[in-house]
Structure 1
Amino acid sequence: MLNPETHAFLSRIAGRPPIDEALWVEALTHGSTGAPRDYQRLEFLGDRVLGMVIADWLYALEQGNEGRLSQRLNALVSRTTCATVARSIGLGAHMQLGKQARDDGGQDSDNILGDVMEALIGASFVTHGFEATRDMVRELWADQVGGKTGQAKHPKSALQEWAAGNRRKVPEYRLIERSGPDHAARFLVEVSVKGVGEVEATGTSMREAETMAAELFMQRFG
Protein backbone atom coordinates (compact mmCIF):
# COMPACT_ATOMS: atom_id res chain seq x y z
CA MET A 1 0.00 0.00 0.00
CA LEU A 2 0.97 3.64 -0.31
CA ASN A 3 2.94 5.34 2.43
CA PRO A 4 1.44 8.59 3.81
CA GLU A 5 3.83 10.85 1.88
CA THR A 6 3.09 9.19 -1.45
CA HIS A 7 -0.65 9.10 -0.72
CA ALA A 8 -0.58 12.86 -0.11
CA PHE A 9 1.51 13.41 -3.24
CA LEU A 10 -0.91 11.47 -5.45
CA SER A 11 -3.92 13.19 -3.89
CA ARG A 12 -2.37 16.54 -4.73
CA ILE A 13 -1.51 15.87 -8.35
CA ALA A 14 -4.75 13.97 -9.10
CA GLY A 15 -6.94 16.45 -7.26
CA ARG A 16 -8.52 13.65 -5.19
CA PRO A 17 -7.41 10.73 -3.02
CA PRO A 18 -6.23 7.69 -5.01
CA ILE A 19 -8.75 4.87 -5.41
CA ASP A 20 -7.41 1.29 -5.58
CA GLU A 21 -4.05 1.97 -3.97
CA ALA A 22 -2.54 -1.24 -5.35
CA LEU A 23 -2.98 0.07 -8.89
CA TRP A 24 -1.19 3.31 -8.05
CA VAL A 25 1.63 1.36 -6.43
CA GLU A 26 1.90 -0.60 -9.68
CA ALA A 27 2.16 2.68 -11.62
CA LEU A 28 5.11 3.75 -9.46
CA THR A 29 6.95 0.42 -9.61
CA HIS A 30 9.91 -0.22 -11.93
CA GLY A 31 10.65 -3.71 -13.20
CA SER A 32 14.00 -3.72 -11.42
CA THR A 33 12.22 -4.27 -8.09
CA GLY A 34 11.25 -7.80 -9.07
CA ALA A 35 7.63 -7.09 -8.14
CA PRO A 36 5.03 -9.24 -9.95
CA ARG A 37 3.51 -6.15 -11.56
CA ASP A 38 5.25 -2.96 -12.73
CA TYR A 39 4.23 0.20 -14.53
CA GLN A 40 4.48 -0.99 -18.14
CA ARG A 41 0.80 -1.84 -18.77
CA LEU A 42 -0.38 1.40 -17.22
CA GLU A 43 2.27 3.32 -19.15
CA PHE A 44 0.87 1.86 -22.40
CA LEU A 45 -2.60 3.10 -21.48
CA GLY A 46 -1.48 6.45 -20.10
CA ASP A 47 0.47 7.23 -23.26
CA ARG A 48 -2.72 6.98 -25.31
CA VAL A 49 -4.79 8.97 -22.82
CA LEU A 50 -2.17 11.72 -22.69
CA GLY A 51 -2.15 11.94 -26.48
CA MET A 52 -5.93 12.24 -26.60
CA VAL A 53 -6.05 14.94 -23.93
CA ILE A 54 -3.30 17.02 -25.53
CA ALA A 55 -4.72 16.61 -29.05
CA ASP A 56 -8.16 17.74 -27.88
CA TRP A 57 -6.59 20.67 -25.99
CA LEU A 58 -4.55 21.84 -28.99
CA TYR A 59 -7.54 21.52 -31.33
CA ALA A 60 -9.54 23.87 -29.09
CA LEU A 61 -6.64 26.22 -28.36
CA GLU A 62 -4.91 26.74 -31.71
CA GLN A 63 -5.88 27.46 -35.30
CA GLY A 64 -2.87 25.82 -36.92
CA ASN A 65 -3.05 23.24 -39.70
CA GLU A 66 -2.55 19.51 -39.19
CA GLY A 67 1.21 19.74 -39.56
CA ARG A 68 1.50 22.50 -36.99
CA LEU A 69 -0.76 20.69 -34.52
CA SER A 70 1.10 17.41 -34.99
CA GLN A 71 4.43 19.12 -34.37
CA ARG A 72 3.22 20.55 -31.08
CA LEU A 73 1.52 17.31 -30.06
CA ASN A 74 4.67 15.28 -30.63
CA ALA A 75 6.71 17.70 -28.52
CA LEU A 76 4.18 17.83 -25.69
CA VAL A 77 3.80 14.05 -25.33
CA SER A 78 7.49 13.28 -25.79
CA ARG A 79 9.41 11.41 -23.12
CA THR A 80 11.49 14.54 -22.50
CA THR A 81 8.42 16.63 -21.75
CA CYS A 82 6.88 13.88 -19.61
CA ALA A 83 10.14 13.73 -17.63
CA THR A 84 10.20 17.52 -17.27
CA VAL A 85 6.68 17.48 -15.84
CA ALA A 86 7.63 14.58 -13.56
CA ARG A 87 10.60 16.51 -12.18
CA SER A 88 8.48 19.61 -11.63
CA ILE A 89 6.20 17.71 -9.25
CA GLY A 90 8.95 15.72 -7.50
CA LEU A 91 7.86 12.35 -8.85
CA GLY A 92 11.30 10.73 -8.55
CA ALA A 93 11.15 10.54 -4.78
CA HIS A 94 8.01 8.39 -4.93
CA MET A 95 9.09 5.85 -7.55
CA GLN A 96 9.89 2.30 -6.47
CA LEU A 97 13.20 1.18 -7.99
CA GLY A 98 15.46 -1.78 -7.44
CA LYS A 99 18.86 -1.12 -5.91
CA GLN A 100 20.72 -1.40 -9.23
CA ALA A 101 18.36 0.96 -11.04
CA ARG A 102 18.60 3.45 -8.19
CA ASP A 103 22.40 3.20 -8.12
CA ASP A 104 22.43 3.78 -11.89
CA GLY A 105 20.57 7.08 -11.48
CA GLY A 106 17.13 5.78 -12.33
CA GLN A 107 15.46 8.27 -10.01
CA ASP A 108 16.46 11.06 -12.41
CA SER A 109 16.34 9.12 -15.69
CA ASP A 110 14.28 10.72 -18.47
CA ASN A 111 13.16 7.28 -19.60
CA ILE A 112 11.93 6.11 -16.22
CA LEU A 113 10.46 9.44 -15.13
CA GLY A 114 8.62 9.80 -18.45
CA ASP A 115 7.30 6.23 -18.34
CA VAL A 116 6.10 6.51 -14.73
CA MET A 117 4.43 9.83 -15.48
CA GLU A 118 2.44 8.13 -18.24
CA ALA A 119 1.66 5.21 -15.92
CA LEU A 120 0.17 7.61 -13.37
CA ILE A 121 -2.05 9.03 -16.10
CA GLY A 122 -3.12 5.48 -16.90
CA ALA A 123 -3.89 4.77 -13.24
CA SER A 124 -5.93 7.96 -13.02
CA PHE A 125 -7.90 7.00 -16.12
CA VAL A 126 -8.70 3.53 -14.76
CA THR A 127 -9.69 4.69 -11.27
CA HIS A 128 -11.05 8.22 -11.75
CA GLY A 129 -12.20 8.27 -15.38
CA PHE A 130 -11.42 10.45 -18.39
CA GLU A 131 -12.69 13.83 -17.20
CA ALA A 132 -10.72 13.76 -13.95
CA THR A 133 -7.63 12.60 -15.82
CA ARG A 134 -8.04 15.34 -18.42
CA ASP A 135 -8.17 17.91 -15.62
CA MET A 136 -5.04 16.43 -14.05
CA VAL A 137 -3.11 16.52 -17.33
CA ARG A 138 -4.23 20.06 -18.06
CA GLU A 139 -3.03 21.22 -14.67
CA LEU A 140 0.32 19.43 -14.93
CA TRP A 141 0.96 20.37 -18.57
CA ALA A 142 -0.28 23.98 -18.36
CA ASP A 143 3.20 25.50 -18.41
CA GLN A 144 4.27 23.27 -21.30
CA VAL A 145 1.23 24.07 -23.45
CA GLY A 146 1.12 27.75 -22.54
CA GLY A 147 4.85 28.07 -22.99
CA LYS A 148 4.86 26.52 -26.47
CA THR A 149 7.32 23.78 -25.60
CA GLY A 150 10.42 23.71 -27.74
CA GLN A 151 9.62 26.98 -29.49
CA ALA A 152 9.65 29.96 -27.18
CA LYS A 153 10.26 31.20 -23.65
CA HIS A 154 7.36 30.74 -21.25
CA PRO A 155 5.02 33.76 -21.60
CA LYS A 156 5.06 34.59 -17.88
CA SER A 157 8.85 34.62 -17.83
CA ALA A 158 8.96 36.66 -21.04
CA LEU A 159 6.53 39.21 -19.61
CA GLN A 160 8.45 39.55 -16.35
CA GLU A 161 11.72 40.11 -18.22
CA TRP A 162 10.04 42.62 -20.53
CA ALA A 163 8.68 44.56 -17.55
CA ALA A 164 12.08 44.61 -15.85
CA GLY A 165 13.80 45.66 -19.07
CA ASN A 166 11.38 48.55 -19.45
CA ARG A 167 11.72 49.62 -15.82
CA ARG A 168 8.18 48.67 -14.97
CA LYS A 169 6.83 47.04 -11.84
CA VAL A 170 6.42 43.26 -11.67
CA PRO A 171 3.29 42.02 -13.52
CA GLU A 172 0.31 41.39 -11.23
CA TYR A 173 -2.15 38.54 -11.78
CA ARG A 174 -5.70 38.65 -10.39
CA LEU A 175 -8.50 36.08 -10.49
CA ILE A 176 -11.61 37.83 -11.76
CA GLU A 177 -14.04 34.92 -11.96
CA ARG A 178 -14.23 31.15 -11.52
CA SER A 179 -17.15 29.50 -13.26
CA GLY A 180 -18.46 26.08 -14.18
CA PRO A 181 -18.57 22.78 -12.25
CA ASP A 182 -15.42 21.33 -10.72
CA HIS A 183 -14.87 18.90 -13.60
CA ALA A 184 -15.09 21.69 -16.20
CA ALA A 185 -14.03 24.82 -14.32
CA ARG A 186 -13.06 28.01 -16.14
CA PHE A 187 -10.85 30.73 -14.69
CA LEU A 188 -10.87 34.35 -15.87
CA VAL A 189 -7.61 36.07 -14.94
CA GLU A 190 -6.32 39.60 -15.45
CA VAL A 191 -2.65 40.49 -15.74
CA SER A 192 -1.59 44.12 -15.41
CA VAL A 193 1.59 46.13 -15.54
CA LYS A 194 1.30 49.53 -13.88
CA GLY A 195 1.51 52.36 -16.37
CA VAL A 196 1.11 50.06 -19.37
CA GLY A 197 -2.25 48.26 -19.30
CA GLU A 198 -4.08 45.07 -18.50
CA VAL A 199 -5.29 41.98 -20.36
CA GLU A 200 -7.78 39.24 -19.49
CA ALA A 201 -7.70 35.58 -20.50
CA THR A 202 -9.57 32.39 -19.69
CA GLY A 203 -8.22 28.91 -18.97
CA THR A 204 -9.17 25.60 -17.39
CA SER A 205 -6.82 26.29 -14.46
CA MET A 206 -5.32 29.36 -12.84
CA ARG A 207 -1.95 28.46 -14.28
CA GLU A 208 -3.27 28.12 -17.81
CA ALA A 209 -5.26 31.38 -17.57
CA GLU A 210 -2.24 33.29 -16.25
CA THR A 211 -0.07 31.89 -19.02
CA MET A 212 -2.57 32.85 -21.70
CA ALA A 213 -3.00 36.33 -20.21
CA ALA A 214 0.77 36.89 -20.22
CA GLU A 215 0.99 35.78 -23.85
CA LEU A 216 -1.85 38.10 -24.89
CA PHE A 217 -0.29 40.98 -22.94
CA MET A 218 2.99 40.55 -24.82
CA GLN A 219 1.15 40.42 -28.14
CA ARG A 220 -0.64 43.66 -27.34
CA PHE A 221 2.05 45.69 -25.54
CA GLY A 222 5.36 43.89 -25.93
Structure 2
Amino acid sequence: MSKTLTTRPVNNPALPDATRAFLTRVIGVDPDGAPEWTAALTHGSFSAQNGARGKGLEDYQRLEFLGDRVLGLTIAEWLYQSEGAAEGRLSQRLNVLVSRQMCATIARGIGLGEHIRLGKQARDDGGSDSENILGDVMEALIGASFVTRGFEPTRALIRSLWAEEVGGRAGQAKHPKSALQEWAAGNRRKPPEYRLVDRSGPDHAARFTVAVAVKGVGEVEAVANSKQEAETQAAAAFLRQFG
Protein backbone atom coordinates (compact mmCIF):
# COMPACT_ATOMS: atom_id res chain seq x y z
CA MET A 1 0.00 0.00 0.00
CA SER A 2 2.95 2.34 0.42
CA LYS A 3 3.74 2.43 -3.30
CA THR A 4 3.02 5.83 -4.83
CA LEU A 5 0.79 6.25 -7.88
CA THR A 6 1.89 7.12 -11.38
CA THR A 7 0.20 10.36 -12.38
CA ARG A 8 -0.08 12.47 -15.49
CA PRO A 9 1.95 15.69 -15.41
CA VAL A 10 0.37 18.99 -14.49
CA ASN A 11 1.53 22.49 -15.25
CA ASN A 12 0.79 24.39 -12.06
CA PRO A 13 3.25 27.14 -11.15
CA ALA A 14 5.39 27.04 -8.01
CA LEU A 15 3.84 27.77 -4.63
CA PRO A 16 4.74 30.85 -2.57
CA ASP A 17 7.41 30.40 0.10
CA ALA A 18 4.85 30.82 2.90
CA THR A 19 2.70 28.03 1.48
CA ARG A 20 5.70 25.76 0.99
CA ALA A 21 6.63 26.35 4.62
CA PHE A 22 3.06 25.58 5.65
CA LEU A 23 3.08 22.26 3.81
CA THR A 24 6.47 21.37 5.23
CA ARG A 25 5.28 22.09 8.76
CA VAL A 26 1.82 20.53 8.56
CA ILE A 27 2.33 17.68 6.11
CA GLY A 28 6.02 17.07 6.64
CA VAL A 29 7.04 17.31 2.99
CA ASP A 30 8.75 19.80 0.70
CA PRO A 31 6.24 20.21 -2.16
CA ASP A 32 8.93 20.92 -4.76
CA GLY A 33 8.75 18.49 -7.64
CA ALA A 34 5.26 17.27 -6.75
CA PRO A 35 2.70 19.47 -8.55
CA GLU A 36 -0.19 17.58 -6.91
CA TRP A 37 0.28 19.76 -3.82
CA THR A 38 -0.28 22.89 -5.91
CA ALA A 39 -3.32 21.35 -7.59
CA ALA A 40 -4.74 20.43 -4.17
CA LEU A 41 -4.66 24.09 -3.13
CA THR A 42 -6.09 25.48 -6.39
CA HIS A 43 -9.77 26.39 -6.67
CA GLY A 44 -11.45 26.38 -10.07
CA SER A 45 -11.91 30.15 -9.90
CA PHE A 46 -8.13 30.61 -9.86
CA SER A 47 -7.72 28.53 -13.02
CA ALA A 48 -10.56 30.37 -14.75
CA GLN A 49 -9.23 33.79 -13.76
CA ASN A 50 -5.80 32.96 -15.17
CA GLY A 51 -7.23 31.63 -18.42
CA ALA A 52 -5.69 28.25 -17.76
CA ARG A 53 -8.66 25.95 -17.33
CA GLY A 54 -8.27 23.08 -19.76
CA LYS A 55 -4.67 24.08 -20.52
CA GLY A 56 -2.81 22.01 -17.94
CA LEU A 57 -3.52 24.02 -14.79
CA GLU A 58 -5.47 21.66 -12.56
CA ASP A 59 -7.67 22.39 -9.56
CA TYR A 60 -8.39 20.26 -6.51
CA GLN A 61 -11.49 18.36 -7.65
CA ARG A 62 -9.87 15.08 -8.73
CA LEU A 63 -7.66 14.95 -5.65
CA GLU A 64 -10.65 15.75 -3.44
CA PHE A 65 -12.47 12.72 -4.88
CA LEU A 66 -9.53 10.50 -3.98
CA GLY A 67 -8.85 12.04 -0.59
CA ASP A 68 -12.46 11.57 0.50
CA ARG A 69 -12.11 7.80 0.05
CA VAL A 70 -8.72 7.61 1.77
CA LEU A 71 -10.07 9.59 4.73
CA GLY A 72 -13.11 7.33 5.02
CA LEU A 73 -11.01 4.16 4.99
CA THR A 74 -8.54 5.52 7.53
CA ILE A 75 -11.19 6.70 10.00
CA ALA A 76 -13.21 3.48 9.60
CA GLU A 77 -10.13 1.37 10.33
CA TRP A 78 -9.26 3.60 13.30
CA LEU A 79 -12.72 3.29 14.83
CA TYR A 80 -12.80 -0.46 14.26
CA GLN A 81 -9.48 -0.85 16.07
CA SER A 82 -10.17 1.51 18.95
CA GLU A 83 -13.86 0.99 19.76
CA GLY A 84 -15.98 -2.04 20.52
CA ALA A 85 -19.24 -0.38 19.55
CA ALA A 86 -21.84 -1.95 17.29
CA GLU A 87 -21.96 -1.18 13.56
CA GLY A 88 -24.66 1.46 13.92
CA ARG A 89 -22.70 3.49 16.46
CA LEU A 90 -19.48 3.15 14.45
CA SER A 91 -21.28 4.41 11.35
CA GLN A 92 -22.68 7.34 13.30
CA ARG A 93 -19.22 8.42 14.42
CA LEU A 94 -17.71 7.79 10.99
CA ASN A 95 -20.27 10.01 9.27
CA VAL A 96 -19.50 12.90 11.61
CA LEU A 97 -15.73 12.49 11.52
CA VAL A 98 -15.49 12.45 7.70
CA SER A 99 -18.15 15.11 7.07
CA ARG A 100 -17.38 18.28 5.16
CA GLN A 101 -18.04 20.25 8.33
CA MET A 102 -15.40 18.24 10.21
CA CYS A 103 -12.90 18.56 7.35
CA ALA A 104 -13.47 22.34 7.40
CA THR A 105 -12.95 22.40 11.17
CA ILE A 106 -9.62 20.58 10.78
CA ALA A 107 -8.67 22.94 7.95
CA ARG A 108 -9.36 26.01 10.07
CA GLY A 109 -7.34 24.52 12.90
CA ILE A 110 -4.21 24.32 10.76
CA GLY A 111 -4.71 27.71 9.07
CA LEU A 112 -5.35 26.25 5.62
CA GLY A 113 -7.62 29.03 4.33
CA GLU A 114 -4.92 31.62 3.68
CA HIS A 115 -3.01 29.20 1.42
CA ILE A 116 -5.89 28.30 -0.93
CA ARG A 117 -5.43 29.73 -4.42
CA LEU A 118 -8.68 31.50 -5.29
CA GLY A 119 -9.78 33.85 -8.02
CA LYS A 120 -10.23 37.46 -6.88
CA GLN A 121 -14.03 37.34 -6.84
CA ALA A 122 -14.09 34.05 -4.93
CA ARG A 123 -11.68 35.46 -2.33
CA ASP A 124 -13.66 38.70 -2.04
CA ASP A 125 -16.79 36.59 -1.47
CA GLY A 126 -15.15 34.89 1.52
CA GLY A 127 -14.05 31.73 -0.24
CA SER A 128 -11.02 31.27 2.01
CA ASP A 129 -13.36 30.64 4.95
CA SER A 130 -16.09 28.83 3.05
CA GLU A 131 -16.97 25.54 4.73
CA ASN A 132 -17.43 23.89 1.35
CA ILE A 133 -14.07 25.01 -0.02
CA LEU A 134 -12.13 24.36 3.18
CA GLY A 135 -13.60 20.87 3.47
CA ASP A 136 -12.89 20.07 -0.17
CA VAL A 137 -9.30 21.33 -0.05
CA MET A 138 -8.62 19.39 3.15
CA GLU A 139 -9.68 16.22 1.33
CA ALA A 140 -7.62 17.23 -1.71
CA LEU A 141 -4.49 17.52 0.45
CA ILE A 142 -5.14 14.00 1.71
CA GLY A 143 -5.46 12.90 -1.91
CA ALA A 144 -2.19 14.60 -2.82
CA SER A 145 -0.48 12.89 0.10
CA PHE A 146 -1.77 9.50 -1.03
CA VAL A 147 -0.67 10.04 -4.64
CA THR A 148 2.81 11.31 -3.82
CA ARG A 149 3.65 9.36 -0.65
CA GLY A 150 1.36 6.32 -0.46
CA PHE A 151 -1.10 5.08 2.14
CA GLU A 152 1.01 4.64 5.29
CA PRO A 153 2.28 8.25 5.55
CA THR A 154 -1.19 9.51 4.63
CA ARG A 155 -2.82 7.41 7.34
CA ALA A 156 -0.29 8.80 9.84
CA LEU A 157 -1.13 12.34 8.68
CA ILE A 158 -4.87 11.80 9.15
CA ARG A 159 -4.36 10.23 12.57
CA SER A 160 -2.30 13.23 13.63
CA LEU A 161 -4.79 15.83 12.37
CA TRP A 162 -7.92 14.00 13.59
CA ALA A 163 -6.51 12.74 16.91
CA GLU A 164 -8.40 15.18 19.13
CA GLU A 165 -11.71 14.62 17.36
CA VAL A 166 -11.48 10.82 17.33
CA GLY A 167 -10.28 10.76 20.92
CA GLY A 168 -13.05 13.11 22.05
CA ARG A 169 -16.82 12.85 21.76
CA ALA A 170 -17.26 13.89 18.13
CA GLY A 171 -20.02 11.80 16.63
CA GLN A 172 -20.94 10.06 19.89
CA ALA A 173 -24.05 12.12 20.49
CA LYS A 174 -27.07 11.26 18.37
CA HIS A 175 -27.32 13.29 15.17
CA PRO A 176 -29.73 16.24 15.69
CA LYS A 177 -32.03 15.14 12.84
CA SER A 178 -32.31 11.62 14.28
CA ALA A 179 -32.83 13.03 17.76
CA LEU A 180 -35.60 15.33 16.53
CA GLN A 181 -37.27 12.46 14.67
CA GLU A 182 -37.31 10.40 17.88
CA TRP A 183 -38.50 13.38 19.94
CA ALA A 184 -41.46 13.91 17.61
CA ALA A 185 -42.39 10.22 17.72
CA GLY A 186 -42.01 10.10 21.49
CA ASN A 187 -44.33 13.08 21.84
CA ARG A 188 -46.91 11.63 19.44
CA ARG A 189 -46.27 14.29 16.82
CA LYS A 190 -46.01 13.99 13.07
CA PRO A 191 -42.44 13.68 11.71
CA PRO A 192 -40.49 16.95 11.32
CA GLU A 193 -40.73 18.63 7.93
CA TYR A 194 -37.75 20.49 6.40
CA ARG A 195 -38.21 23.32 3.94
CA LEU A 196 -35.63 25.27 1.93
CA VAL A 197 -36.43 28.92 2.62
CA ASP A 198 -33.63 30.62 0.68
CA ARG A 199 -30.41 30.00 -1.21
CA SER A 200 -28.10 32.95 -1.76
CA GLY A 201 -24.53 33.73 -2.78
CA PRO A 202 -22.28 32.27 -5.49
CA ASP A 203 -21.74 28.51 -5.74
CA HIS A 204 -18.41 28.59 -3.93
CA ALA A 205 -19.87 30.55 -0.99
CA ALA A 206 -23.53 29.58 -1.03
CA ARG A 207 -25.78 30.18 1.99
CA PHE A 208 -28.81 27.98 2.61
CA THR A 209 -31.68 28.93 4.92
CA VAL A 210 -33.73 25.92 6.01
CA ALA A 211 -36.79 25.76 8.26
CA VAL A 212 -37.87 22.71 10.22
CA ALA A 213 -41.38 22.41 11.62
CA VAL A 214 -43.24 19.93 13.77
CA LYS A 215 -46.99 20.34 13.37
CA GLY A 216 -48.62 21.70 16.50
CA VAL A 217 -45.29 22.66 18.09
CA GLY A 218 -43.45 25.29 16.08
CA GLU A 219 -40.86 26.11 13.41
CA VAL A 220 -37.19 27.10 13.56
CA GLU A 221 -34.80 28.34 10.85
CA ALA A 222 -31.02 27.96 10.47
CA VAL A 223 -28.43 29.14 7.93
CA ALA A 224 -25.34 27.24 6.78
CA ASN A 225 -23.04 26.68 3.79
CA SER A 226 -24.88 23.54 2.70
CA LYS A 227 -28.51 22.43 2.74
CA GLN A 228 -27.64 19.35 4.78
CA GLU A 229 -25.78 21.34 7.44
CA ALA A 230 -28.59 23.92 7.59
CA GLU A 231 -31.06 21.10 8.24
CA THR A 232 -28.80 19.73 10.98
CA GLN A 233 -28.48 23.12 12.65
CA ALA A 234 -32.22 23.75 12.38
CA ALA A 235 -32.97 20.41 14.06
CA ALA A 236 -30.53 21.18 16.87
CA ALA A 237 -32.04 24.65 17.33
CA PHE A 238 -35.56 23.17 17.39
CA LEU A 239 -34.59 20.76 20.16
CA ARG A 240 -33.00 23.56 22.17
CA GLN A 241 -36.13 25.68 21.86
CA PHE A 242 -38.89 23.08 22.19
CA GLY A 243 -37.24 19.89 23.44
The percent of aligned pairs where both chains have the same amino acid is: 68
Residue aligning to 1:214: none
Matching residue within 15, 18, 21 for 1:5: 18
Cα deviation code 1:118-170 (max 9, x no counterpart): 00000000001100000000000011111121447xxxxxxxxxxxxxxxxxx
Match of 2:96, SS state, is: helix
Cα deviation code 1:158-211 (max 9, x no counterpart): xxxxxxxxxxxxxxxxxxxxxxxxxxxxxxxxxxxxxxxxxxxxxxxxxxxxxx
Residue aligning to 2:195: none
Cα deviation code 1:70-121 (max 9, x no counterpart): 0000000000000000000000010000111111111100000000000000
Q: 8 Å contact 2:64–2:141 — kept in the other structure?
A: yes
Q: Which moved more, 1:101-110 or 1:30-39?
A: 30-39
Match of 1:96, SS state, is: coil
Residue aligning to 1:50: 71
| TM-aligned CA deviation for residue 15 of structure 1 | 2.2
Report the structure, 1 or 2, having the larger helix content: 1
Q: Structure 2: which 5+ runs fail to align?
A: 1-13, 174-243
| TM-aligned CA deviation for residue 53 of structure 1 | 0.5
| TM-aligned CA deviation for residue 44 of structure 1 | 0.1
Residue aligning to 2:35: 22
TM-score (norm 2): 0.60
Root-mean-square deviation (Å): 1.3
Count residues with an aligned counterpart: 152
Q: 8 Å contact 2:95–2:171 — kept in the other structure?
A: no
Matching residue within 58, 65, 72 for 2:93: 72
Amino acid corresponding to residue 145 of structure 1 in structure 2: V
| Moved segments of 4+, more than 4 Å | none
Residue aligning to 2:163: 142
| TM-aligned CA deviation for residue 20 of structure 1 | 3.5
Matching residue within 97, 100, 117 for 2:121: 100
Matching residue within 61, 64, 68 for 1:40: 61
Q: 8 Å contact 1:20–1:127 — kept in the other structure?
A: no
Q: Structure 1: which 5+ runs fail to align?
A: 153-222
Match of 1:21, SS state, is: coil
